[in-house]
Chain A
């Protein structure tokens, strides 16, 4: 299990960094989707099946769609984007920083013998039961959030009555 996780973590990190550093928005979105998918793998390996499914479907699916539609709505030429934002140039420091921080963290952890350990035995519980029975507040929140999403689409994307 650990091996898969290590490999997935490496991919996850790489995809994330690529998403950040890529000078093309489209590529960024795709890298992000890939990162989501990798995350889904990790979640699955850890035993969070439901979460993994949702992650893969929603994050790497829905959000990518939203992105791509937003990107396509903004009709700027690719070269122009690069010239205007020059993200690649501005982001070069990121990998260096990440490596430094990563090494530092590992050294610190090793030096002080710090590591995370499981605090409790795994409890067998049904996700659905928990979600529906004990997370009512969250569900209300989710409903309302989705409601707001609808209203937001209604309010923000409609083209008529533009000015107050």
Chain B
């Protein structure tokens, strides 16, 4: 019963977040360091929890309450996997923020929300209770509402509101699904309903929530619009934490816990395929650097969803690893985009060009991350993409496999288009300098990690295989 590690891992960022504005009143630097400390603590504790997983004695804590409520925390392989990924990328993002955010107002709130966000993510992945999951889910919506509206302009607020409405509506509908499960099983505790068969309408309702959170067609509209937020925020949202919540929930509910109708192993991949192709198509025509990346996120999330939903071992493992690959690489891409945007004050890629000369390190990091997303070996993305497509093909659905290969082709095309338009071609901004060292270093770290993970892909694979073992 080492559950206290998990609880600490949740509470430190959550409660720490509330303290940050106070720290901010004392000193900005102190606040920044404390924010980093809290997030890093979450990461370290997740690594601690990993030891429990490796020793096959996952940390857990559970307090049963009446009415099927409970406080349950479990650091199993899936939870630790996601916790580590999310908190690590968040660490990098916080470091990056030191360079990015320091000139804006509302920094107190910013760091508070980021910390809260990480705490919510930790809580979400460790919790085994549907209500707790819903709670943390909504906290994350709340954080993303404040963070997207960071600039406090008319348009950003509208977009933030849109995000909030869509994700909260999704969550509410999901909660209705939870109620359905509750009426079936009489409890909200996931550990107690392992293997329970739940009716299809509940699955559909819960899927609605998941899809709205992980921005899948037709509930994706908020995600590209959320690009108005500061770049570290978009990175946090689109790459590291927010959208991963949806796929995590899918993995937790429909892969690990519930028995669902066989038909969903076809329906969900079809949705994913439509989502992937469609958003890739839009990404190819977009001219806003962040929107391209956002549509790319939608497309890549469909890959993850595909892997998780195809029902084959290799697909599920691939999908889980894809989460990690995408977190790291897309996080890096957004941060790179942030550096570019921060330095040249535009997001329109038609106005950019030739930046590789002035900001070579950013360009390198961007290239490294983009290669991972495109699925070029030896980057990590290659393995995951391969495994996911192999998963859908092994489930006998070759047509979808073909569609996803086409989508991968389009991924290559739009990312290359973006990369080349921004960093190559005619130089339009000659006076631009490289971003501040702290920002560049953080994106380089992410780029290099997505390369290194390619060489050490057996490590996450091992963990992902353990997740499969939970079934």
Q: Is there a contact between chains A and B in the complex with CB atoms less than 8 Å apart?
A: no
Interface residues in chain B, defined as those with a beta carbon under 8 Å from any beta carbon in chain A: none
Interface residues in chain A, defined as those with a beta carbon under 8 Å from any beta carbon in chain B: none
